[in-house]
Amino acid sequence: MNIIKYTLVILSLFALASCKKDTKTVEPTPEPAPTTGNLKINFANKVGTANLSYNTTYTIQSGDSISITKFKYYISNIVLTKSDNSTYTVPNSYDIIDPAVKTAINLTNVPIANYKSVQFIIGVDSARNKSGAQDGDLAPNKDMFWSWNTGYIFLKLEGTSPQSSASNKSVIYHIGGFSGLNKGIRTVTINFGSSTANVNSSGTPAINLNTDVLEIFKNPSPISISSLNFQMSVNASSKMIADNYADMITFGSITN
Amino acid sequence: MVRCKVDPKINPILPSDDLKEIIPPNWPQPKYTFSTNTITEDKFILGRALFYDPILSKDNTISCGSCHQQFVAFANADHALSHGINDLLGKRNAPGLFNLVWHSSFMHDGGINHIENQPIAPITNTVEMGDDINPILEKLNASSKYKNLFNKAFGSEVADTKKLQLAMVQFMGLMYSYNSKYDRFKRQENNTSFNDSETRGYSLFLQKCAVCHTEPLMSSFEFRNNGLPVDPFLKDKGRGELNTAEPGDDYLFKIPSLRNVALTGPYMHDGRFTTLEQCINHYTAAFTNTINLAPELPRQGMTLSAQDKADLVSFLNTLTDYRFISDKRFADPNFK
């Protein structure tokens, strides 16, 4: 019995030793190939074809002029569509685009794929308007929150105009409203045409979009500043402005 | 004199098990459950420190506690309208604060849709505490006291809006008031009984008032025009003032809870009445503001005898929760 027992022990020791030796000779397993990469979405803020600059006089469709001092808006709930029509929903996607602060959304951990379109909302979804304390760009100290009548301001346009009926010639549009017929949330879908944004493990491709302030005054409902220089309520006028800004963001180009 | 000194440790330190969610027997489920704002002693202490600290106002003169005083169930004693920085007057009466987690909206017009958003409004109101929130965060971030309190509560000494909101909700959300004589009577605690006048008053209350001032919270928290003549100076349209208002919202105000009502005067959204008798008399006269008048109210007014009115007052006095207003956990930690 003892002999058998010792033999087994010796054999098993030998086996163990040889196992150890084997592992030394095995090639180290390669790092798993990355499955995600970066993607940037740039917003070029424009007035017609010119780049937006503050305190510069521009002419809107009605012929009224405006000098802009503030222009900012929420871009939320970004969804990217791949060439095979499957989609990637960006988590926790809430960004304020403000030419004075931030004009690009930098996405990380985007699944590697070729993307042919992007969808997002201008505004903040109803759920986040109703769920209490938020952080990041949804914090209430970003100048885009109505504290006395809970809700995010989706788009702010402020400036001056000789056509304004206000004594200080101000133009103030604060557009929001997350529910009801006059809500200000608008869904935007941008197709990249024949291009695709190719997310890979090394570079950072960019989706370059243009945001045209003039569209806010243009269609489907032409707005003149002489008739509307102040808008802070959620009503038929704010809905009209939201309908107008629904198409203010258009495709520019893809940089791979 | 020595006892007046502020204790740097912000006593009384609370046993953590004193701070917990409470749903009194036969009460509905609260609207806010702390599920994403776990209750801790340190967050409560931070919230309490903020509530009582005028650092939250632009000129460091007004705290939340300035207009919400514990001895009157966190209403504002003797103030018809809120009195803010630079002697500015608001246009509405500061309501009592208790059982807030059962509310689905805040302010007399219900404009705030979540308890966590409530603290931001008075801090930034130009006639209340008067400041943009960012300078207040800067003040908090420059304070060694608050660096320490924020660190203890959230593991980071950096103050931001979310931490401020969550901590303040811990303090205000835990203000439970459920120990009035009425509550002890309903729970049949210690053989608590109503006297004859209170009994008659309760019966009248159930017939005449409880349709809006619904038990057990003593409000349905819905919005009604209770027929008050419109103040020609304030011209307050209540819910009709909201930027999302519809025509049917004009003159609607949130139905207040009648708990602690003997303490929370002056009454009504603009503090126009100082006694409970005046409030009851309002409901017995014909209503003058009938635009969107509450359908529950008879236009010609309610019929109540002098005895009925006295009995109603007797009942309303049973709604005072003395334990709540003397609960040291909610007292200003700077005064002992």
Delimit the domains of chain B by residue range: 11-176, 181-320
Asked if B101 and B115 count as a contact pair (C-beta separation under 8 A), the reply is yes
Residue B114's closest chain A neighbor by CA?
A: A132
Per DSSP (E only), the strands in A5-86 are 36-47, 50-51, 57-59, 65-82
Taking residues B260-271, what's their average pLDDT?
Answer: 97
Separation CA A65–CA A58 (nearest Å) = 5
Site of tokens 């009194």: B24
Rounded to the nearest angstrom, the minimum Cα separation between B336 and chain A is 32
Q: Is residue A127 classed as helix, strand or coil in its secondary structure?
A: helix
Residue A153's closest chain B neighbor by CA?
A: B243
Q: Can you give the pLDDT at residue A3? A: 56
Q: How far is CA B270 from CA A74, B89, B94, B236, in A?
A: 37, 11, 9, 9
Residue closest to B200 by CA, chosen among B284, B273, B305: B305
Asked if B14 and B329 count as a contact pair (C-beta separation under 8 A), the reply is yes
Q: Can you give the pLDDT at residue B88? A: 76
Q: Can you give the pLDDT at residue A20? A: 47
Q: Can you give the pLDDT at residue B91? A: 87
195-234 in chain A: CB under 8 A from chain B: 232-234
Separation CA A52–CA A212 (nearest Å) = 9
Site of tokens 């009035």: B180
**Under an 8 A CB cutoff, do B125 and A177 touch?**
no
Categorize the per-residue pLDDT at B2 as very low, low, confident or very high, splitting at 50, 70 and 90.
Answer: very low
Asked if A150 and A133 count as a contact pair (C-beta separation under 8 A), the reply is no
Residue A142's closest chain B neighbor by CA?
A: B134
Site of tokens 């635009």: B291
Question: Which top CATH class is B181-320?
Answer: mainly alpha
Residues of B in contact with A177 (CB under 8 A): 244
Q: Can you give the pLDDT at residue B60? A: 92
Smallest Cβ–Cβ distance between B112 and the set A135, A139, A150 belongs to A150
**Under an 8 A CB cutoff, do A234 and B162 touch?**
no
Residue B111's closest chain A neighbor by CA?
A: A149
Work out whether the CA dihedral A155, A159, A163, A166 comes out positive or negative. Answer: positive
Residues of B in contact with A145 (CB under 8 A): 120
Smallest Cβ–Cβ distance between A147 and the set B36, B124, B137 belongs to B124
**pLDDT at B5 > cutoff 50:** no
Taking residues B144-172, what's their average pLDDT?
Answer: 98
Say how many CB pairs under 8 Å bridge A and B: 67
Q: Can you give the pLDDT at residue A91? A: 98
Q: Can you give the pLDDT at residue B123? A: 86
Mean of the per-residue pLDDT values of chain B? 92
- H-type alpha helices, chain B: 41-51, 64-67, 120-124, 133-141, 144-154, 161-173, 181-186, 196-208, 276-284, 306-317, 322-325
Which string of b and e fits B294-322 if b means at least 16 CB within 10 Å?
Answer: beebeeeebebeeebbebbbbbbbbbbbe
**pLDDT at B4 > cutoff 80:** no
Residues of B in contact with A132 (CB under 8 A): 36, 114-117, 165
Separation CA A122–CA A94 (nearest Å) = 10
Structure tokens at A63: 């012929």
pLDDT per residue over B101-152, tens digit each?
Answer: 999 999 999 999 999 999 999 888 765 565 689 999 999 999 999 999 999 9
Taking residues B60-71, what's their average pLDDT?
Answer: 94
Taking residues B151-159, what's their average pLDDT?
Answer: 98
Pairing of strands A206-212, A104-111: unpaired
Rounded to the nearest angstrom, the minimum Cα separation between B89 and chain A is 17
Whether B181-320 and B11-176 are alike in CATH topology: the answer is yes
Rounded to the nearest angstrom, the minimum Cα separation between B134 and chain A is 6
The neighbour count for residue A28, using CB atoms within 10 Å, is 5
Asked if B225 and B253 count as a contact pair (C-beta separation under 8 A), the reply is yes
Does A130 contact chain B (CB < 8 Å)?
yes
Residue closest to B161 by CA, chosen among B80, B255, B58, B56: B56
Residue B109's closest chain A neighbor by CA?
A: A149
Q: Can you give the pLDDT at residue B126? A: 64
Does A172 contact chain B (CB < 8 Å)?
no
Smallest Cβ–Cβ distance between B166 and the set A133, A148, A233 belongs to A133
Does B245 contact chain A (CB < 8 Å)?
yes
Q: What is the 3-state secondary structure (H, E, C) of B20-32?
A: CCCCCCCCCCCCC
Separation CA B123–CA B85 (nearest Å) = 11
**pLDDT at B336 > cutoff 60:** no
Q: Structure pTM? A: 0.89
Residues of A in contact with B166 (CB under 8 A): 133
Does B38 contact chain A (CB < 8 Å)?
no
Asked if B80 and B93 count as a contact pair (C-beta separation under 8 A), the reply is yes
pLDDT < 50: residue spans in chain A: 1, 10-11, 13-21
Does A149 contact chain B (CB < 8 Å)?
yes
**Under an 8 A CB cutoff, do A147 and B114 touch?**
no
Site of tokens 């994403």: B36
Separation CA B69–CA B56 (nearest Å) = 16
Does B328 contact chain A (CB < 8 Å)?
no
**pLDDT at B11 > cutoff 60:** no
Q: Can you give the pLDDT at residue B157? A: 97
The neighbour count for residue A230, using CB atoms within 10 Å, is 15
Q: Can you give the pLDDT at residue B10? A: 46
Asked if A119 and A172 count as a contact pair (C-beta separation under 8 A), the reply is no
**Domain range B11-176, CATH architecture:** Orthogonal Bundle (1.10)
Q: Can you give the pLDDT at residue B301? A: 96
Asked if A74 and A119 count as a contact pair (C-beta separation under 8 A), the reply is no
Query: Which ipTM score applies to this complex?
Result: 0.89
Q: Can you give the pLDDT at residue B44? A: 97
pLDDT per residue over B244-263, tens digit each?
Answer: 898 899 999 999 999 999 99
Categorize the per-residue pLDDT at B68 as very low, low, confident or very high, splitting at 50, 70 and 90.
Answer: very high
Separation CA A26–CA A19 (nearest Å) = 11
Categorize the per-residue pLDDT at B6 as very low, low, confident or very high, splitting at 50, 70 and 90.
Answer: very low
Q: Can you give the pLDDT at residue A21? A: 47
Taking residues B202-206, what's their average pLDDT?
Answer: 98
Categorize the per-residue pLDDT at B18 as very low, low, confident or very high, splitting at 50, 70 and 90.
Answer: confident
- H-type alpha helices, chain A: 2-25, 126-129, 236-245
